[in-house]
Amino acid sequence: MKHSPRQIIDGFWSLLTGMRITLGQFFKPTVTVQYPHESLKMPTRFRGHIVFVRDPETGKSLCIACKACEKACPSDCIVVDGIKREGEKRKSVTDFKLDFTKCSLCGSCVEVCPTDALEFSRAYNLASVSKEQFHCIDLVKRLEQE
């Protein structure tokens, strides 16, 4: 197919425009974050996996083992158990297991909790070579260890 002069001019013009824009971008600041060496701060509403909120008075979890989150969770990721200790008005949590492999981070559990005992963590560097690490995250233990 023979090229008309018009097409050749158009082609050159496209090339020049492209070069001009690319060169302009060349002097713009870099937007890339060199990830493992530097990382971004997560916004306050970031949804990591759920963790317990610590009661500022007792230092324990606010959870009353009402199982509302267990019921609300669409993927059955939560297993809660609690006992009623003597001398206490409410039940207290003894066991809270989260199966993070199934969690969709929807936030239903956080919203439904009557005592606001759950919040999202800001952890996002979540990678592992074995699924056991996320299969059963024990929130009670986690709170104790912190």
Partner 1 sequence: MRFITLCVRTLAVSESNFISAAEHAGETFVLNLGPQHPATHGVLRVKLTMDGEYITRAEPVPGYIHRMHEKMGENRNYAQFLPNTSRIDYLSAMHYTHAFVGVVERAAKLEVPPRAEYIRVITSELNRISSHLVWFGAFLLDLGGFTPLLYAFDDREKILDLLEGITGSRLTYCYYRFGGVCNDIDDEFIRGTRAFLEEMRPRLKLYRELVTDNIILRKRLIDIGPISAELCRKYGATGPVIRGAGVPYDVRRSEPYSVYPELDFVVPTHAEGDCMARYLVRMEEMGQSLRIIEQALDRLPEGPVLGKAPKTVKLPPGDYCYAVEAARGRFMVRVISDGKEIPYRVKLRAPSFSNLSLFEEASQGMMLPDALAVMGSLDLVIPDIDR
* Chain contacts with ligand SF4 (rule: CB under 6 A): 50, 63-69, 72-75, 77-78, 80, 93, 98, 103-109, 112-115, 117-118
The interface partner of residue 51, options being partner 1, ligand SF4, none and the CB cut-off 5 to 8 Å by kind, is: none
Size of the site for partner 1 (CB under 8 A): 26
Per CB under 8 A, 23 contacts partner 1? no
Taking the complex as a whole, the smallest distance from the CB of residue 4 to partner 1 amounts, in Å, to 9
According to CB under 8 A, which residues from 2 to 21 bind partner 1? 7, 10-11, 13-14, 17-18, 21
Taking the complex as a whole, the smallest distance from the CB of residue 69 to ligand SF4 amounts, in Å, to 3
B/e letters for 25-52, b = 16+ CB within 10 Å, e = fewer, are eeeeeeeeeeeeeeeeeeeeeebbbbbb
